[in-house]
Homo-oligomer: A and B are copies of this chain.
Amino acid sequence: MEKMLTNKDLLGLQETSKEDIELILDTADMMRHILDSPTKRTAHLAGKSVVLFFLENSTRTRLSFEMSCKYLSANSSNISASGSSIHKGENLYDTVKTIDVMATDLLVMRHNQSGAPHMIAPLVDASVINGGDGMNEHPTQALLDMMTIREHKGQLDGLRVAIAGDALHSRVVRSNIWGLSKMGAEVRVAAPPTMMPRHLDHMPCIVTHDVREACEDADVVMGLRVQLERQKSALFPSIREYAHFFGIDEEVLACAKEDAIIMHPGPCNHGVEMPTSIHEHERSVIHEQVSNGVAVRMAVLYLLQARRNYQ
């Protein structure tokens, strides 16, 4: 029998096993071939409905999921906060239940509250994919990061991955810590003291305030977006100082291995997390990350639906 995901939903990598992560990454490699073929279309999800329910602004994640749906021949429909009845004060459960009973198979959900998809998933028939919840997780982003690293480094086990930046507001860092550590990589997080959440001490990662230290002999150097729009108060004195102490420049890069790859979840604040010269560096795989994002999302949609078909 074909391998199958353990859970009905993909809520986070904290609750996803190593075997399931491997299954998704292997399937994503196959999806990559479809994307690289002249006709990027399969009938795997024909007649299935996917609703993309994004209550926070998004370009790349929403578009990536939408295109993934189309490459699999699924029906996809968008619901965003603007133009919907959410402003009428409709509660989340009612809205999601409404979507669910319209014969929806897969529900991709982005919400500004941590844990929102976890609350919703057990209450609906559709399989829920977390497209980012507050400051908690963004599992498909970490999966595409892992896919990209694996492509370049052959495996994840034994690698050293340095992640630098605003760890406080970043759901990307949390998903990557859970996922990468399960796959045997060492994750080092460097953030200013004001941007380092305390719970990171209890997560499988090494914490430092020195970006050079984090990058020492690293195989991967990843910048995190400074979520300027999510900050309620100033968490660093100035952008210039942030860039100086936590930005990834040639000097920081020199601490890492000679063949270390450069990553960023995007969109990058050029000159803050890294200068444009690093963003477009020959060892930068930032555009590949975006490209692999489509393959990873196709894999997740495909595998969750396969599990539904079997039941």
Residues of A whose CB lies within 8 Å of any CB of B are 35, 38-41, 46-49, 51, 54, 57-60, 63-64, 66-67, 70-71, 75, 77, 79-91, 94-95, 97-99, 101-104, 228-229, 266-270, 287-288, 290-291, 293-294, 309
Contacts and interface: CB of A to CB of B under 8 A. Distances in A.
A98 B290 contact: yes
B291 A94 contact: no
Given A57-B85, A60-B98, A94-B268, 8 more contacts: A57-B83, A59-B85, A67-B75, A98-B266, A98-B287, A101-B290, A102-B294, A103-B291
Given A40-B49, A47-B41, A67-B49, A59 B103 contact: no
6 contacts: A38-B47, A57-B84, A59-B86, A71-B75, A82-B83, A98-B266
Contacts of A87: 57
Nearest to A89: B269
A77 B67 contact: yes
Contacts of A309: 38
A266 B95 CA distance: 9
A91 B57 contact: no
Contacts of A103: 35, 40, 67, 71, 291, 294
A75 B75 CA distance: 11
A46 B57 contact: no
Contact of A84 (B59, B84, B89, B101): B59
A58 B46 contact: no
A102 B41 contact: no
A301 B187 CA distance: 46
Nearest to A279: B94
A88 B39 contact: no
